[in-house]
Structure 1
Amino acid sequence: MKYLERVILESLRLFPPVPLIARKLNEDVQIITGNYILPKSATILIPPFAVHRLEEYYPNPTVFNPDNFLPEKMQQRHYYAFIPFSAGPRSCVGRKFAMLKLKVLLSTILRNYRVISDVADNDFVLQGDIILKRHDGFKIKLEPREPISRT
């Protein structure tokens, strides 16, 4: 289950469900790096899709690598370098529930079926809507696995 969780986190890194987060500032905010002040009432955009592909945090950022989420690598990374569910006080309250549900669902499917796709992930044509998705849907095939004999 630990490896499955790393696979899910890496999938969320490459394809965050929400590709762009918008926030309206309630007060002036001084940026820590540099002498910049973002004015009250400004709308700022935070692009998790781009943040998750920063090479300073993820070597070979477009390559699928679940080892990006080994505990020792996560400890070395900035807290806000991985924000698929937003972060801070406005982060998704259902994050832990979503992860548990994903692990149960995926482990059940993968135990019983082989998942096959004719399209490689680097050939996906993505569409940013309210959520990030493929423009042509997710065309996959499920093939039943041979039952494991329990003798």
Structure 2
Amino acid sequence: MSDAKSAEDRQRRNMPASLGGGAEPAAAPDPPADLSDVLRGQWVGLWSSPVAALMDPVSDLPAVVRLFELYELADRVQAQLAAAAEVDSGLVGARVRLASEIRLAEGQLGLSPRARLALGVALVAGQKAASLDDLADDADE
């Protein structure tokens, strides 16, 4: 006879919390005025996604606005690079710095799977049906 709990009674304490279980996200705040149509669509997409449940539309709004301003600036620099007859090392350097700043901001806002994992959160759509630990526990019984 085993003292192990049944699979239904187990509680995983080291698994990330789940988002996207059906809670309605708040309405998207107005995007910055100078965003392109593509970035406006991405703005609405972000604020209507399960990731928006991680963000406070008041206190996190300035950071999200900065991120989208960086996206817009990076798009402009990229367009200048594409139109340049010769490689402009100043523009290349600016584009690399912008990419780095964008990655940092995305990470701080939990906009990548790794960043969400570091925050202890997983999206329901991205979760596996069972973790390897769960399968191993079930095999032990």
Tell me the TM-score range normalised by the shorter chain.
Answer: under 0.3
Max radius of gyration: which structure? Answer: 2
Q: Which TM-score applies when normalising by structure 1?
A: 0.24
Structure with more strand by fraction: 1
| More relative contact order, 1 or 2 (CA 8 Å, 6+ apart) | 2
